[in-house]
């Protein structure tokens, strides 16, 4: 996949410091070994140093010794990170004692490394649930100024070359917000356009999806998508973004022409923004299974620094791609 090769090359050109909190998870270690061999990032592994060394030896991972290892049980800076956590969360009722306990959780420690300027991004989730990866990121790394919601985009490499950019489409939100408001949906659209442009260089053409095209149906769910379209257009007047559109009107030129004549996006969208998480998550999985598309992500967007979540069923190759993507997102 040429785009994934380009993302890897960009990561190699400017290696970022990426923390992997699941440092003793074997697929993560294997991926880390590849990334270090390719010099695509500087890696920080959280976990027991002896265990990491043993796993590396047993699996002949000869580059792991280039990674920095942070063991939460022995790291000399733990008290400083606990204080940082306490400062960030004391208004939410966290005590110093709770902070000292929580800082030993690698998912919290990884985010504290980012917050303290000791890492540029994080990738986890081969072992942990999505919510457990996201919560510390939301609480500690937080969102970019002006952004209220973090969302998850999927790069969909489909064999249907007639759609999107030679078969490549970006779907969102497929991972985080169960039922976004119109304002949140507008933010998700703008963040997705930025993610797509930053990672692929594509001209963003964003379709705000619904079961209605340009007033063909009336319902409060359609009104939400219409309002999100209005907000997004007013926030980014130069962006090619239109709605509300059905998926066929967004993708197929003849259908776009008949259902939304004059739209700058209909029939040629490369970014599909779904109205809620059910449609986004179901939509990407159906496309993946029925078309044999390669789905890469979710790529979390809107955070002050990149933190990404893996599927627990992920392969070593997927982790390698996601480390490179996280490193690309971390580049200023």
CA–CA dist 305, 329 (Å, integer): 8
Shortest distance, position 143 Cβ to ligand ACO, whole Å: 5
Shortest distance, position 268 Cβ to ligand ACO, whole Å: 26
Residues contributing to the site for ligand ACO (CB under 6 A): 92, 130-131, 134-135, 138-139, 143, 149-150, 174-177, 281, 298
Strands 16-20 and 168-172: unpaired
Nearer to ligand ACO, 68 or 311 (CB): 311
DSSP assignment string, 42-86: EEEEES-HHHHHHHHHHTT-TTGGGSEEE-TTT-TTHHHHHHHHH
CA–CA dist 51, 47 (Å, integer): 8
CA–CA dist 62, 43 (Å, integer): 14
Nearer to ligand ACO, 64 or 271 (CB): 271
The radius of gyration computed from the CA coordinates of the chain, to the nearest angstrom, equals: 21
Shortest distance, position 167 Cβ to ligand ACO, whole Å: 20
Dihedral sign from CA coordinates of 78, 80, 84, 89: positive
Shortest distance, position 22 Cβ to ligand ACO, whole Å: 16
Shortest distance, position 180 Cβ to ligand ACO, whole Å: 8
Nearer to ligand ACO, 132 or 223 (CB): 132
Shortest distance, position 281 Cβ to ligand ACO, whole Å: 5
Nearer to ligand ACO, 143 or 181 (CB): 143
**Burial (CB count within 10 angstroms: exposed 0-12, middle 13-18, buried 19+), residue 251:** buried
CA–CA dist 157, 163 (Å, integer): 10
Nearer to ligand ACO, 53 or 135 (CB): 135
Nearer to ligand ACO, 139 or 291 (CB): 139
Shortest distance, position 59 Cβ to ligand ACO, whole Å: 27
* Residue listed under structure tokens 């809107």: 302
Strands 16-20 and 307-309: unpaired
Nearer to ligand ACO, 255 or 305 (CB): 305
**Burial (CB count within 10 angstroms: exposed 0-12, middle 13-18, buried 19+), residue 137:** buried
């Amino acid at each position: 996949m040429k785009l994934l090769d380009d993302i890897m090359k960009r990561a190699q050109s400017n290696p970022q410091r990426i923390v992997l909190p699941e440092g003793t998870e074997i697929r993560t270690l294997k991926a880390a070994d590849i990334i270090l061999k390719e010099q695509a990032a500087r890696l920080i592994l959280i976990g027991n140093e002896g265990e990491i060394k043993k796993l590396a030896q047993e699996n002949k991972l000869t580059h792991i010794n280039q990674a920095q290892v942070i063991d939460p049980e022995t790291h000399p800076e733990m008290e400083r990170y606990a204080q940082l956590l306490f400062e960030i969360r004391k208004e939410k009722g966290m005590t110093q004692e709770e902070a000292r306990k929580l800082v030993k959780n690698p998912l919290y420690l990884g985010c504290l490394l980012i917050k303290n300027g000791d890492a540029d991004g994080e990738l986890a989730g081969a072992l942990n649930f999505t919510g457990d990866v996201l919560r510390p990121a939301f609480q500690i790394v937080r969102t970019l100024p002006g952004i209220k919601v973090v969302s998850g985009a999927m790069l969909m490499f489909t064999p249907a070359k007639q759609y999107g950019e030679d078969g490549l489409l970006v779907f969102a939100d497929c991972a985080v917000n169960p039922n976004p408001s119109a304002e949140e949906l507008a933010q998700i659209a703008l963040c997705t356009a930025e993610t797509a442009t930053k990672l692929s260089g594509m001209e963003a053409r964003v379709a705000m999806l619904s079961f209605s095209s340009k007033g063909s149906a009336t319902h409060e769910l359609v009104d939400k998508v219409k309002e999100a379209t209005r907000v997004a257009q007013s926030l980014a007047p130069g962006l090619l973004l239109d709605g509300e559109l059905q998926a066929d009107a967004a993708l197929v030129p003849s259908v776009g022409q008949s259902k939304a004549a004059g739209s700058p996006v209909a029939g040629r969208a490369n970014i599909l923004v779904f109205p809620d998480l059910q449609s986004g998550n179901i939509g990407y999985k159906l496309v993946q299974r029925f078309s044999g598309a390669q789905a890469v992500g979710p790529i979390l967007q809107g955070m002050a620094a990149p933190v990404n979540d893996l599927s627990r069923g992920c392969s070593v190759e997927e982790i390698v791609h996601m480390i490179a993507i996280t490193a690309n997102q971390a580049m200023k």
